[in-house]
Amino acid sequence: MNDEPKSLQQAILYFSNPDNCISYLAARRWPDGKVICPICDSDSVSAFNPKRKTWKCAKHHPKREFSVKVGSLCEDSAIGLDKWLTAIWLLTNCKNGISSCEVASHLKVTQKTAWFMMHRIRIAMQDEGFGKLNGHVEVDETFIGGKARNMHLDKRERRITGTGGKDKTIVFGALERGGKVRTAILSDRKRAAIETEVKAHVEAGSALYSDALKSYDGLAVQYAHQVIDHAEKYVDGQVHTNGLENFWSLLKRGISGTYVSVEPFHLFRYLDEQVFRYNSRGNREHKVTPADRFSMVVSKLFGKRLTFAQLTGKLCETSAF
């Protein structure tokens, strides 16, 4: 694997060879080298057919012959693996994200195709960790939505019906210092919603730091809860939420600067994207390279599916997976 790409330029050259694309995906899909049929999970599979670029299951059932795309987020896509893998590299390693218009321009596909590809890639960027955060944990919430001053008058009158965050989406975040961040979309900032998310993501007994929002008041029963009042100061020793504020700034820089307009229906996918990049940033002791991040996402392409009907909310019996 020493010849595998370490940079975007190397990736484009390396994946221009279809055999390299297949071998790279196969190595991450079947790390022990034993190919498994994605239809029946049998390991009785014939050797790779270099002419057809497929394997064939020994058991008799529909779709016995399969490619490395079958059972992955790339399934049923007419886009070549060279373009898929380049798009994955771009999305996983651009710090502030990359727009579908830019991806479309680079890959010579339509903007609609690039938009669909990127949302499928974001599925592979979802945090699949089930353990709770512990130690010293910061919790906070923020509002995501367009700024009234940037809107045309007709749109402002239609979309802005109140002050503050009334017409914006509320996002909750929890950050383990020196560890991972988790996010969730809230319906409101009342105590019940806040406490539910904190208990779902943070281990009881952890040191918990929040701002002075009253919805956090009941958490001292299960956590070592300390509050920083931003009306007075932002840091009091180790009591602060500056780590999470840093994450919010990265998130909003990507949404406002790169994606410009994000529908609330799709917001959780953009959160998954930014959470992945933040959680895979590495540190002084453990370096994470662009090639490492790319490999992480490629390894999670399999066993998942997102159709265009699901993505656009136009589900029907024939289109559901």
* Contact between 248 and 237 (Cβ < 8 Å): no
Whether CATH 3.30.420 fits 136-262: yes
Task: Please check the confidence at residue 257 and state whether its pLDDT lies above 60.
Answer: yes
Query: What is the reported pLDDT for 282?
Result: 81
Lowest mean pLDDT among 94-98, 150-154, 260-264, 286-290: 150-154
Rounded Cα distance, 307 and 169, in Å: 25
Task: Please check the confidence at residue 317 and state whether its pLDDT lies above 50.
Answer: no
Condensed to tens digits (0 to 9), the pLDDT of residues 29-48 reads: 999 999 999 999 999 999 99
Mean of the per-residue pLDDT values of the chain: 90
For residue 102, give every residue at least 6 positions away whose Cβ sits within 8 Å of its Cβ, in sequence order, or none. Answer: none
Rounded Cα distance, 275 and 172, in Å: 12
* Contact between 174 and 182 (Cβ < 8 Å): yes
* Contact between 39 and 54 (Cβ < 8 Å): no
Q: 18: which 2 tokens? A: 């279809």
Residues pairing with 184 in the sheet: 172
Query: What is the reported pLDDT for 260?
Result: 84
DSSP for residue 264: G
For residue 301, give every residue at least 6 positions away whose Cβ sits within 8 Å of its Cβ, in sequence order, or none. Answer: 25, 29, 72, 73, 74, 124
Task: Return the closest-CA partner of residue 296 out of 77, 70, 129.
Answer: 129
Rounded Cα distance, 165 and 163, in Å: 6
- What would the mean pLDDT of 111-116 be, rounded to a whole number? 97
Condensed to tens digits (0 to 9), the pLDDT of residues 131-164 reads: 899 999 999 999 997 655 554 566 555 555 555 4
* Contact between 224 and 207 (Cβ < 8 Å): yes
Rounded Cα distance, 116 and 112, in Å: 6
Q: Is 147 exposed, middle or buried (0-12, 13-18, 19+ CB in 10 A)?
A: exposed
Task: Please check the confidence at residue 169 and state whether its pLDDT lies above 80.
Answer: yes
Which DSSP string corresponds to 51-72?
TTTBEEBSS-STT-EE-TTTTB
Residue extents of the structural domains in the chain: 136-262
DSSP for residue 192: H
E-strand stretches of 224-301? 224-227
| Residue 209: φ, ψ to 5° | -120, 130
For residue 15, give every residue at least 6 positions away whose Cβ sits within 8 Å of its Cβ, in sequence order, or none. Answer: 5, 21, 24, 81, 82, 85, 86
Distance from the first to the final alpha carbon of the chain = 34
Residues in the chain: 321
Instruction: Please name the residue ranges forming H helices in 69-135.
Output: 81-93, 100-107, 111-124
Could you give the percent of the chain with pLDDT greater than 70? 91
Beta carbons within 10 angstroms of residue 251's beta carbon: 25
Give residue 94's pLDDT band: very low, low, confident or very high (50, 70, 90): very high
* Contact between 205 and 136 (Cβ < 8 Å): no
Q: 186: which 2 tokens? A: 């809230």
| pTM summary value | 0.88
